[in-house]
Amino acid sequence: MAGDGRLVVISNRVAVPKARGAAGAQGGLAGALNAALKDRGGIWFGWSGEETEIPSETIHLDRTDGVTTATIDLSAQEVEEYYNGYANSTLWPLFHYRIDLAEFEKRTGQVYERVNERFAEGVSPLIDAEDLVWVHDYHLIPLGERLRARGLKNRLGFFLHIPWPPTRLLTSLPFHERLVNSMLTYDLIGFQTEEWLSSFLHYCENELGAEVDAQSGRVTFEGRTTTARAYPIGIDWDHFQAQGQTDDARRAQKRLLASTRHRTAMIGVDRLDYSKGLPERIDGIGRFFDEHPERARDLVFIQIAPPSREDVESYQQIRALLEQKCGQINGARSEVDIVPIRYVNRGYSHAELFGFFRAAKIGLVTPLRDGMNLVAKEYVAAQDPQDPGVLILSDFAGAARQLEADGTGALLVNPHSPDAMASAIATALDMPLEERQARYQAMIGTVRDDNVQAWTAEFCKQLASD
Ligand code: ADQ
């Protein structure tokens, strides 16, 4: 029975403490997978984060915190062309609707396929016949096909953590049919929301000519059938609440409250990434201060944004733009005792983030496009039920579908509109306590119950049973 086997998780990065960057601003994916593997046992395979002079065949096996990890190193050229190149300069921007930033280089596409082949070569000897194999994210779309080519008969699942683009956008990618065709070798394909799922089914039907049953998510093409479904990811509720009980969390909360005194703290926490809508967010805040200059005394905005993917040029540009925009507003609006925007370029622990979220009476989460966005859920999870803050959330985050609660939960905004953001900030600042409590109650059930453990269990159950 496939369901009795171990779980083999394969993702680009493996968040063992030794892997570069894993201990700092851990992304949503790393947190989710750690929780899944601790729960079920098994192996986590991926890139070590190390670069070597030439490709090396060595596999590093380790057992950390109850999880066995197996990692390979990549050569500097592979990192540049597979990771910085095809994954983060082609697929990431295109899948986040930023065709203007997407680079289409045949060479990086070839190295992307070669690295997927290296992953297949490294991991296949570690997989037992009964294991469930679960591949994660856009770095490894063709991996299922590479594993099948090696004779693997296991149940193979794939989860896409980022959005799936509309068909006409995807067709701008050279060799798009080849990429999607390789994806159909998985038995189960998961998306964050119904919207991305339906774009995927639309592509399969209209571009590939596959037979699609939208009701069941079954896609039949060239004699193979795969199932595609939506599995919205959640946070590790128990872990996050436990972090909230620590001294670090309490200290962080006090520190923020003490430093903002009688003003309302509004917070944003994001990886520094153009998909997160940071310059647009600052424009919205600028518009709010333009319309209500006197309220610079009421509101302080804290943006925590640790740099990411610094080797990619578009990420260097977004950083410079953000610094410039924050500087302009602070230059125009500061007094000797007031600085309206605090821009912090570093990561914090989940305990500290919990404390900051709890101290902030407005959470501003306004990505231009986001697969899910776990920060939105963490912000809600950290609130005091008696005196909760207000979540302002982009309509284009996957999380909006769960947290809008038919207009009774998060305040939804169009992140491209400074006016919409300014008006939502004004509404949140003046929102009466009863309404804040009611909105919090409309969101907290899904944040608590649709957590990462439920997500993992649901995906694995489906993968084992189909
Ligand atoms: P990300 O784009 O990284 O994830 P998100 O879902 O918000 O976005 O997860 C970020 C995680 O990193 C959160 O747990 C957050 O607390 C943490 N984090 C962010 N900024 C931090 C900071 N300054 N200091 C410390 N921690 C910080 C990708 C997709 C998302 C999808 C997730 C999970 O882009 O759409 O929700 O995977 O599938």
List the single range of 73-77, 103-107, 193-197, 312-316 with lowest mean pLDDT. Answer: 312-316
CB 390 within 8 A of CB 439: yes
The residues assigned a catalytic role are 161, 370
Closest atom of ligand 1 to 349 CA is 25
pLDDT-based confidence at residue 40 (cuts at 50, 70, 90): confident
pLDDT-based confidence at residue 312 (cuts at 50, 70, 90): confident
Q: How many Cα atoms occupy the beta-carbon half-sphere of 437 within 13 Å?
A: 6
DSSP string, 66-114: TEEEEEEEEEHHHIIIIIIIIIIIIIHHHHTT-TTT----HHHHHHHHH
Q: Which own/partner contact pairs does 290-296 have at CB distance under 8 Å and 24+ positions apart?
A: 290/422, 291/422, 291/426, 292/426, 293/333, 295/429, 296/333, 296/335, 296/338, 296/340
Q: What domains are there in the chain, each with its CATH number?
A: 7-234+452-465 (3.40.50.2000), 237-449 (3.40.50.2000)
Q: What confidence tens digit (pLDDT) does each residue in 357-386 have?
A: 999 999 999 999 999 999 999 999 999 999
**pLDDT, average across residues 117-144:** 96
Nearest to 180 by CA among 192, 194, 164, 193: 164
Interior/surface letters 298-315, b for 16+ CB within 10 angstroms, e for the rest: ebbbbbbbbbbbeebebb
**pLDDT, average across residues 141-156:** 98
Ligand 1 within 6 A of 373 CB? yes
Residue 53 C-alpha to ligand 1 middle, in angstroms? Answer: 31
Query: Is pLDDT of 396 > 80?
Result: yes
Helices 350-359, 374-381: axis angle to 10 degrees equals: 70
Ligand 1 within 6 A of 123 CB? no
How confident is the model at residue 2, as a pLDDT?
45
**Residue 225: beta bridge partners?**
220
Residue 29 C-alpha to ligand 1 middle, in angstroms? Answer: 8
Query: CA 295 to CA 23: how far, in whole Å?
Result: 38
Q: What confidence tens digit (pLDDT) does each residue in 42-58 have?
A: 899 999 999 998 877 89
pLDDT-based confidence at residue 311 (cuts at 50, 70, 90): confident
Alpha helices per DSSP H over 134-193: 143-149, 167-170, 176-183
62 — phi, psi (to 5°)? -150, 155
Query: Is pLDDT of 310 > 80?
Result: yes
